[in-house]
Amino acid sequence: MTDQLPHNDPDLQLAREVGNHQINKKSLSDIDDPLINQLLTYKRQKISATPIDSNDKQQVWNRVASATQPQSQSAKVTSIFSAKSIRWAAAAVLIIGAIFSFVYLNYLSQPKIIAESQSTIKTVTLSDGSSVTLRPNSTLLGIEESATSHQYRLEGEAIFDVTSKPERTFQVTTALGKVKVLGTRFSVSSWGEQMQVFLDEGSVEVLSTQAQNPVQLSPGQSASINSNKIVTVSEKGNYKEYFDWVNGELVFENKALKDIAAEIEQEFNITITLPKSIAEDSISGQLPLDDLELALQDLELVLNGEFSKTGDQSYTFEAN
């Protein structure tokens, strides 16, 4: 994806207008803009508070000329700038600097898309040799990649196999929290109403967006962050439940139906509506993920009901 400067941005238009007025020697008071009005007010206050003495001004320029000329030469330097033009040039520099800082922060420094999986599983190798396997309909964005820090943002779910480099930190952020890697292999999901982390090897720290202290996981442990930003740790999670989608299946053990539905939604980029009466019920089993219709049919048998297609990408379940 290529970033482009917003040429019709009002701040850039203001910078051009200031430049044109300076070139044509027009008064900036003709520009109807709050920032310009504030600068003009500031200018009037400074002029009234500190009158400029022409002799002092000339002395300043004489000192500049003396300091910049070789001692063995004598030269006469004539000031070609007035104090007024210097003040206006400084104001213009401040305006343009503020405008381009705004443009950089809002357009050029945004996270860059590293990989999108679309409807299939996709594996990408990062600049440090680490590999990331994205679940279908997931996106990995790069925030920073340097010798001492690698920071990424994940939308969806992915398995990270991180190259061990003690001299740099590796961090993955989602909407609900972040994972700081200490050299490891782990899974992160951010679909549904929670973020889940499962540690296979090594060590990670999990931190919610509102927590003060991180939770450190050991291999086999998992952590989840719900919409209330609460971190919970589970001991010895089922490996297959976190890496099952890589093998084209969904494995669940005493898992709530709403969470199973959310996982199917992520896998196939659809929306599923369940009756509130069964959404919290837990079931165990496995479903194929290579075909949506087949997965829904198997789930219908387990739940004793039927899924109806209510839109291009939406389904509703009704019990028999």
Q: Where are the domains of the chain?
A: 10-108, 112-241, 249-319
pLDDT cut 90: percent of the chain above it = 43
Q: pLDDT band for position 111 (50/70/90)?
A: confident
- Distance (Å, whole) CA 189 – CA 275: 24
DSSP 8-state class, residue 111:
P
Mean pLDDT of all residues in 102-128:
78
Contact partners, residue 63, CB within 8 Å, separation at least 6: none
At residue 70, the pLDDT reads 52
Tokens of 36: 């310009």
At residue 14, the pLDDT reads 67
* Nearest residue to 130 (alpha-carbon basis) of 87, 84, 172: 172
- With H, G, I as helix, E, B as strand and everything else as coil, classify residue 173: strand
Look at 16-25, 57-66, 251-260, 294-303 and tell me which has the smallest mean pLDDT: 57-66
- Does 236 score more than 90 pLDDT? no
- Cβ neighbourhood burial of 84 (10 Å; 0-12, 13-18, 19+): exposed
Higher per-residue pLDDT: 107 or 266: 266
Mean pLDDT of all residues in 134-161:
94
Q: How many helices (H) and strands (E) does the chain have?
A: 8, 17
Determine which helix (DSSP H) or strand (DSSP E) holds 268, and give its type and residue range. Answer: helix 257-268
Mean pLDDT of all residues in 261-290:
92
Most confident among 89-98, 204-213, 307-316 (mean pLDDT)? 307-316
Are 160 and 185 in contact by the 8 Å Cβ rule? The answer is yes
At residue 108, the pLDDT reads 45
C-alpha separations of 66 from 70, 72, 79, 83 in Å: 8, 11, 13, 19
Higher per-residue pLDDT: 7 or 138: 138
Give the chain's end-to-end CA distance (angstroms, integer).
Answer: 48
At residue 311, the pLDDT reads 92
The sign of the CA dihedral 281, 286, 291, 293 is: negative
Look at 8-17, 117-126, 243-252 and tell me which has the smallest mean pLDDT: 8-17
Higher per-residue pLDDT: 188 or 235: 188
At residue 107, the pLDDT reads 43
**What is the CATH code of the structural domain delimited by 112-241?**
2.60.120.1440
Q: pLDDT band for position 96 (50/70/90)?
A: low
Mean pLDDT of all residues in 205-233:
86
Q: Please state, rounded to an integer, the average pLDDT across all residues of the chain.
A: 78
- Distance (Å, whole) CA 148 – CA 169: 6
The pTM for the full model equals: 0.63
- With H, G, I as helix, E, B as strand and everything else as coil, classify residue 170: strand
Are 174 and 153 in contact by the 8 Å Cβ rule? The answer is yes
Are 262 and 251 in contact by the 8 Å Cβ rule? The answer is no
pLDDT cut 70: percent of the chain above it = 66
At residue 309, the pLDDT reads 93
Q: pLDDT band for position 99 (50/70/90)?
A: low
At residue 38, the pLDDT reads 65
Q: Which position has the token pair 């980029």?
A: 269
Q: pLDDT band for position 44 (50/70/90)?
A: low
Q: Which position has the token pair 């690698």?
A: 150
Q: Which position has the token pair 């971190």?
A: 231
* Nearest residue to 173 (alpha-carbon basis) of 160, 183, 163: 160
Mean pLDDT of all residues in 213-232:
86
Tokens of 195: 């973020």
Torsion angles phi and psi, residue 314, rounded to 5 = -135, 145
- Distance (Å, whole) CA 290 – CA 83: 74
Are 100 and 213 in contact by the 8 Å Cβ rule? The answer is no
At residue 71, the pLDDT reads 52
**What is the CATH code of the structural domain delimited by 249-319?**
3.55.50.30
Q: pLDDT band for position 69 (50/70/90)?
A: low
For residues 257, 258, 262, 263, the Cα torsion angle rounded to the nearest 10 degrees is -30
At residue 2, the pLDDT reads 42
- Does 272 score more than 90 pLDDT? yes
Tokens of 173: 């952020």
Instruction: Give the β-pairing of 194-208 and 222-226.
Output: antiparallel
Tokens of 81: 């700038």
DSSP 8-state class, residue 128:
T
At residue 158, the pLDDT reads 96
At residue 106, the pLDDT reads 44
- Distance (Å, whole) CA 304 – CA 257: 13
At residue 63, the pLDDT reads 56
